[in-house]
A and B are shown apart, each in its own frame.
Chain A
């Protein structure tokens, strides 16, 4: 029998987004969770009252806004672990993490090739004036994305919240393909930034320390 994927409550979605993306303004949190800005803000206020998140007015540039407190970090770890076990998703997420680890070095190679060009043993910054080269890199990103999307589909079938990564990664790729070069590595919603958060999410979900 097919089980329908586990759906995460809005307050945990917001708490966990902060755990995976770090200090962030409201708009970025809404983007990461897929909730509206007003719903996200309402959850943040409740989480702040509970002492799990803090609002930092002195943050740096675009990072000003919301952050996790120590209590929030601990609460997130516990609730995300409980969710994983309640949903019976540990096996599926572990397998997806293994598949992710195979794709991760390739994605980093692609991002590096997007930023630096190697010729005659010299690495120089890619100034994006050679459309043939750029489209070759983007083709490899699109090819990797097809394989990555299959991994994310498996994750989403177990925990619905991972669906958001499918959407954000596909959007970043589409924007980059449409000529917005900052959506490969530079923008807050660039392919690499979202991928980096997915990596952090898998580690956090499985309780694997980064070191």
Chain B
């Protein structure tokens, strides 16, 4: 094969061919960890496709061969009415571009295969849910239907009661099919092999959307790398109550503490966690509900850390109590957490002190000086979201912009909204901090909060704002307007009351790292009024021959 490489321990192609995701999966296979069977279409095929506007010669035949191999390995057939095989089709270049490129899940679920899946599992709801996920991904990636239209299609049938899951799913499916027909002038192809080709082509094309080009220019990523496409047998996190999906860090990314951290969602597929649209549970919930999955996950994190000699994060899915890993990445820890991990790894003897120093950049130190909520004690966490504007702010909770303005006359206010519109601007201006239930770090609310310099948490998915009742609901609790809350715009915590706030100089790990820095550079600790932390680190880097 020229274009396609198996996800096997023997595959030796580097990340610039397999993409970071594909390469990471090969590493996981080498470590003996559970990865769904599949293959990677290399970045070369993407570049040829973008140059010529069609699959390069031989790719079609290789794809057919690779699918046959996957069918043999899983004893299933793509699109078959009995024991159907469904696959995930994921993008992944050698440099991560989060959220820029396409992914289509459950490819191969034609109407016939969906019926087959329902018959095989005896679960019509699950089969329809999977078909809907395929159609939504297809609509977005292949037909270019904007997410807002897909949301509207889902809302249009929201009138059913809780027992009407199947009717609701069937109606939503019809709505999404109509959107695709409207956009493309034709129906969704009911031929599984054709679905796969279109999905692969759409992932290739997503490398070159104007938005992706802009992202690369902004972040200094070359335009000629292309994306790989990872095709794997689906594992269904939406299969049943003993299934789910999540993200796990080997160490807490907020503090760097050596405890597993992350989110889990029962009964869902991976996109639900990554998109931040669903309220997730803390990773630790797995320990009680699926102890075998939990144990295997901890073992996997330990093995990966041993291999990388650094903190790491994985995306995982479990189906009917069985764990599968879908992606591995470096920990991506920043600021104080990066400092703590470097110091701990040196103490554990995993890396040398010199290497620990090199792993922390002066930028991390600057970032580490941002005030944070002290997470060591017991916190009464109201909700969590994504930090969108660093800093800590405390104040009385307000649920509308008008009330935020009125309440601000008597002291600081935290404005909590489902999302923001221009009509909330006066409330944002009056508030000390902002929380929204929806949106990401690049949303209108986030941009406005940063423009005004207000600590902000966005995408707190389990938060419901009831402005008529002047209260918010989260985690099964109700908080009336006026409740004192504190937001941490770095870690994304929203906490009841006013917890202790820490800044870097009190951090014992930073203290130790800087002592090591002085030892390496020959600097004198404590000399002078307060030598700049970054200066001390830079001196150690210079002494170690780093630039």
Contact partner of A137 among B218, B405, B446, CB < 8 A?
A: B218
Could you tell me the distance in whole angstroms from the C-beta of B429 to the nearest C-beta in chain A?
Answer: 6
Expressed in whole angstroms, the Cα–Cα distance for A154 and B207 within the complex equals: 28
Q: Chain B residues near A110 (CB, 8 Å)? A: 214, 218
Docked complex Cα distance between A108 and B443 (Å)? 6
> B214–A140 contact, CB under 8 A?
yes
The one of B361, B423, B424 in contact with A120, judged by C-beta atoms closer than 8 angstroms, is B361
Which residues of A sit under 8 angstroms from B194, Cβ to Cβ?
none
Interface string of B398-429 (1 = CB under 8 A from A): 00010001001000000000110111111001
Q: Is the CB of A22 within 8 A of B211?
A: no
**Which partner residue on chain A sits nearest B331 by CB separation?**
A121
What separation, in Å, do the CA atoms of A35 and B214 have in the docked complex? 36
Q: Within the assembled complex, what's the spacing in Å between the Cα atoms of A118 and B218?
A: 10
* B426–A196 touching, CB < 8 Å: no
Assess the A196–B444 pair: CB atoms within 8 A. Answer: yes
CB < 8 Å neighbour of B148 from A58, A101, A122, A192:
A101
Q: Does B210 contact A (CB under 8 A)?
A: yes
Closest Cβ of chain A to B406, distance in Å, is: 8
Q: Taking the nearest CB of chain B, how far is it from the CB of A187, in angstroms?
A: 9
Count A-B pairs with CB separation below 8 Å: 125
- Residues of B173-232 whose CB lies within 8 A of A: 210-211, 214-215, 217-219
> A interface, by DSSP: helix, strand, loop or mixed?
helix
When the two chains form their complex, are residues A118 and B219 in contact, meaning their CB atoms are under 8 A apart? yes
Q: Mark A99-120, 1 if CB is under 8 A from B, else 0.
A: 0011001101111110110111
**Distance of A146 from chain B, by nearest CB (Å):** 11
**Which range holds the interface residue count of chain B?**
35 or more
With A22-B424, A98-B146 as given contacts, are A196 and B448 in contact (CB-CB < 8 Å)? yes
Contact status A200-B429, CB under 8 Å: no
Nearest Cβ on chain B to A210's Cβ, whole angstroms: 6
Within 8 A of A (CB), among B418-463: 418-419, 421-426, 429-430, 441-444, 446-448, 450-452
- How big is chain A's contact interface, by range? 35 or more
30 sample A-B contacts, Cβ–Cβ < 8 Å, listed by A number: A21-B422, A22-B421, A22-B422, A23-B425, A58-B405, A60-B408, A60-B429, A63-B425, A63-B429, A101-B148, A102-B144, A108-B447, A110-B214, A111-B442, A116-B450, A118-B219, A119-B363, A121-B333, A122-B364, A124-B367, A125-B390, A139-B217, A143-B210, A147-B210, A185-B448, A185-B450, A186-B451, A199-B444, A211-B418, A211-B419
**What 6 pairs between A and B have smallest CB-CB spacing?**
A63-B426, A22-B423, A101-B146, A106-B211, A108-B442, A113-B218
> Other CB < 8 Å A-B pairs besides A59-B426, A98-B146, A140-B218, 19 of them?
A22-B425, A23-B423, A60-B408, A60-B430, A101-B148, A108-B442, A108-B443, A109-B442, A112-B442, A123-B367, A140-B214, A144-B214, A147-B210, A186-B451, A192-B448, A196-B421, A197-B422, A200-B421, A210-B419
Q: Point out residues on B near A: beta carbons under 8 Å.
A: 144, 146, 148-149, 152, 210-211, 214-215, 217-219, 332-335, 338, 361, 363-364, 366-367, 390, 401, 405, 408, 418-419, 421-426, 429-430, 441-444, 446-448, 450-452
Mark A residues whose CB is within 8 Å of B.
20-23, 58-63, 98, 101-102, 105-106, 108-113, 115-116, 118-125, 136-137, 139-140, 143-144, 147, 185-186, 190, 192-193, 196-197, 199-200, 208, 210-211
